[in-house]
């Protein structure tokens, strides 16, 4: 490492005073700032007890919720006082399969259940054997009606939880083996959303895309009262498990809530913005009053306004529309008034010099200048309010937000939750593209 002679350092210090030989206090300022920031972070972690919250996080539940959003599971259940197994979708008593799956086999008194990548289960008499994938040794559990299930030999692995009433095994994220005093229950997960197109009871359930396509154009009606293509649409729209009809109606409510609320806010904010602009309205008291009204309207968040209007008008989209246009009237009024005040006066003065009336002066001298800002802000708020309307709906204003909250409350319908979230994202993307296209067309047309 090359060492710089002291004479060169002195020369540099003389040439750039205050850079090398900075005062001691200035040298410690960055260190002091870093220490303050570090102390603030540590204090915040301690105040919010972040470490305890992180330690108590149920990552297993998070993984299960995430898995349930893109996969479905088949329950194989046997009550110990009965000889037969029952196969159901997600454990629903309304979705019980008549036929046993191909991965389940019974030979005499022995039962074999293939769990795919999670291994396999063999049941004979009052002993259940679980074989992890590619392993010959099994975990053997003795069970019986009214008896506490017990691991016969060996130590229980981490993925096996044994108590005085049950043994719960989760050897893989895609399988679960649950043994109690009264039943054996085995879950196997499969990727994909089951019964997305047609529900369990539909005559079209289980048919392939080519079979559905052939049925749609076939003259032989499955239902004498309607054509096959109408039956297909009806079965899809009225799917009881996925509720497509209700979900799309709720989505339409949310879009209408956002569009109507924003449009009404824009219509109200524009004349108020002219009245609040200093270069338009010479009465200072009036401008002050209108600006304070803007402050009050936008001072409360849309969520707070929605709670107020829900109390006033009850549950429903009307409360959401009022909440959106109340908040946005204040925000848009402030933005529009600032845009009007920043408009070039020369253009308005030129119009006035031609003998135009005051209304014509502002119509042709000011309004064309703020039109791009007006359109741009209005479309942005319209797009943003599509997301806000979802949250407002969850509070009670209806729409897709309420449907989303209903699916999350059950803690079992995370695939429905993922479906609704995907629809919301698609709508936001569509609104973004449409508002961008509309903005370009309107601004280009105005120019």
Listing DSSP states for 49-60 in one string gives THHHHHHT--HH
Question: Does one domain contain both 314 and 361?
Answer: yes
Question: Does one domain contain both 252 and 373?
Answer: yes
Question: Residue 203 domain-assigned?
Answer: no
Residue-level length of the chain: 447
Question: Does one domain contain both 94 and 173?
Answer: yes
Question: Residue 237 domain-assigned?
Answer: no
Q: Are 129 and 123 within 8 A, CB to CB?
A: yes
Domain containing residue 313:
244-444
pLDDT value at residue 393: 84
In 3D space, the residue among 421, 414, 417 whose CA is nearest the CA of residue 189 turns out to be: 414
DSSP 177-222: EEEESSEEEEEEEEES-TTSSS-TT-TTTT--HHHHHHHHT-SS-S
In angstroms, the CA 275 to CA 329 distance is 14
Number of independent structural domains in the chain: 3
Question: Does one domain contain both 256 and 358?
Answer: yes
In angstroms, the CA 278 to CA 281 distance is 5
Question: Residue 56 domain-assigned?
Answer: no
If residue 297 lies in a helix (H) or strand (E), which one and from where to where?
A: helix 284-299
In angstroms, the CA 367 to CA 140 distance is 82
Question: Does one domain contain both 170 and 250?
Answer: no
Question: Does one domain contain both 327 and 380?
Answer: yes
Question: Residue 226 domain-assigned?
Answer: no
In 3D space, the residue among 110, 141, 193 whose CA is nearest the CA of residue 415 turns out to be: 193
In angstroms, the CA 266 to CA 370 distance is 13
Q: Are 446 and 372 within 8 A, CB to CB?
A: yes
In angstroms, the CA 436 to CA 447 distance is 16
Question: Does one domain contain both 83 and 25?
Answer: no
Q: Are 192 and 77 within 8 A, CB to CB?
A: no
* End residue of a domain, out of 169, 191, 213: 191
In angstroms, the CA 33 to CA 29 distance is 6
Alpha carbon of 100 to those of 25, 74, 103, 271, 404: distances in Å?
80, 11, 8, 70, 34
In 3D space, the residue among 320, 327, 338, 187 whose CA is nearest the CA of residue 274 turns out to be: 338
Query: Quick one: how far is CA 159 from the chain centroid?
Result: 31
Cα angle 293-387-272, degrees, rounded to a multiple of 5: 20
Helix axes 358-365, 345-353, angle to 10 degrees: 140
Q: Bridge-partner residues for 55, per DSSP?
A: none
pLDDT value at residue 186: 94
169 by DSSP, 3-state: which?
strand
Question: Residue 199 domain-assigned?
Answer: no
Alpha carbon of 90 to those of 27, 59, 105: distances in Å?
65, 21, 20
pLDDT value at residue 221: 87
Q: For the stretch 215-251, what's the b/e string if a residue is b when 16 or more beta carbons lie within 10 angstroms of its beta carbon?
A: beeeeeeeeeeeebeebbeebbeebebbbbebbeebb
Question: Going by C-beta distance under 8 Å and a sequence separation of 6 or more, which residues neighbour residue 41?
Answer: none
- Cβ neighbour number for residue 198 with a 10 Å cutoff: 20
Question: Residue 198 domain-assigned?
Answer: no
Question: Does one domain contain both 109 and 39?
Answer: no
Question: Does one domain contain both 283 and 373?
Answer: yes
Per-residue pLDDT of the chain (447 residues; tens, 9 = 90+): 566 777 777 777 777 766 666 666 777 888 889 999 999 998 888 888 888 888 877 777 788 888 888 999 999 999 998 888 999 988 888 889 988 899 999 988 899 999 999 999 999 989 999 999 888 888 999 999 999 999 988 888 988 998 888 999 999 889 999 999 999 999 999 998 888 999 888 888 888 899 999 988 888 888 888 899 999 999 999 998 888 999 999 999 999 999 999 999 999 999 999 999 988 888 999 999 999 999 999 998 888 998 898 888 888 888 889 999 899 999 999 999 998 998 888 888 888 888 788 888 888 888 888 888 888 888 888 888 888 888 888 887 788 888 888 888 776 678 889 999 999 999 888 888 888 888 777 766 655
Query: Quick one: how far is CA 292 from the chain centroid?
Result: 35
Question: Going by C-beta distance under 8 Å and a sequence separation of 6 or more, which residues neighbour residue 374?
Answer: 266, 270, 336, 339
Question: Does one domain contain both 339 and 432?
Answer: yes
Alpha carbon of 304 to those of 269, 309, 317, 320, 327: distances in Å?
20, 9, 15, 11, 10
Question: Going by C-beta distance under 8 Å and a sequence separation of 6 or more, which residues neighbour residue 333?
Answer: 268, 269, 272, 273, 276, 290, 293, 294, 297
Question: Residue 53 domain-assigned?
Answer: no
Question: Does one domain contain both 293 and 328?
Answer: yes
Q: What is the CATH number of the domain that holds 329?
A: 1.10.3720.10
Question: Residue 214 domain-assigned?
Answer: no
Question: Does one domain contain both 100 and 181?
Answer: yes
């Amino acid at each position: 490492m090359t060492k710089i002679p002291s004479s060169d350092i002195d020369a540099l210090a003389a040439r750039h005073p205050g850079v090398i030989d900075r005062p001691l206090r200035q040298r410690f300022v960055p260190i002091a700032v870093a220490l303050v920031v570090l102390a603030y972070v540590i204090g915040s972690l301690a105040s919010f007890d972040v470490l305890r919250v992180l330690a108590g996080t149920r990552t297993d539940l998070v993984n299960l919720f995430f898995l349930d959003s893109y996969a479905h599971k088949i329950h194989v259940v046997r009550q110990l006082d009965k000889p037969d197994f029952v196969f159901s979708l997600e454990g629903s008593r309304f979705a019980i399969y008549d036929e046993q799956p191909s991965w389940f086999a019974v030979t005499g008194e022995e039962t074999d259940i293939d769990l795919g990548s999670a291994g396999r289960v063999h049941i004979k008499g009052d002993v259940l054997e679980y074989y992890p994938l590619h392993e010959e040794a099994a975990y053997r559990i003795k069970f019986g009606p009214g008896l506490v299930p017990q691991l016969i030999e060996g130590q229980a692995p981490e993925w096996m939880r044994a108590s005085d009433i049950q043994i719960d095994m989760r050897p893989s994220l895609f399988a679960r083996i649950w043994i109690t005093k009264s039943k054996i229950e085995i879950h196997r997960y499969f990727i994909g959303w089951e019964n997305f197109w047609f529900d369990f009871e539909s005559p079209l359930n289980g048919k392939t895309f080519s079979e559905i396509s052939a049925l749609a154009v076939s003259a032989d009606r499955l239902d004498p009262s309607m054509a096959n293509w109408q039956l297909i649409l009806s079965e899809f729209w009225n799917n009881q498990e996925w509720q497509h009809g209700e979900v799309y109606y709720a989505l339409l409510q949310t879009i209408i809530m956002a569009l109507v609320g924003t449009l009404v806010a824009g219509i109200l904010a524009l004349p108020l913005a002219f009245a609040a602009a200093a270069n338009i309205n010479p009465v200072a008291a009036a401008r002050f009053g209108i600006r304070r009204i803007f402050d009050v309207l936008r001072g409360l968040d849309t969520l707070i306004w929605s709670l107020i209007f829900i109390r006033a008008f009850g549950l429903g989209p009307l409360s959401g529309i009022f909440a959106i246009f109340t908040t946005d009237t204040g925000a848009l009024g402030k933005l529009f008034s600032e845009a009007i005040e920043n408009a070039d006066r020369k253009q308005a003065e030129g119009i006035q010099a031609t003998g135009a009336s005051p209304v014509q002066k502002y119509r042709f001298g000011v309004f064309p200048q703020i039109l791009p800002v007006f359109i741009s802000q209005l479309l942005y708020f319209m797009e943003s309010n599509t997301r806000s309307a979802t949250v407002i709906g969850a509070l009670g204003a209806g729409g897709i937000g309420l449907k989303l909250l209903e699916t999350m409350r059950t803690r079992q319908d995370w695939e429905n939750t993922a479906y609704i979230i995907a629809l919301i994202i698609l709508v936001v993307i569509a609104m973004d593209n449409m508002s961008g296209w509309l903005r370009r067309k309107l601004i280009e047309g105005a120019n």
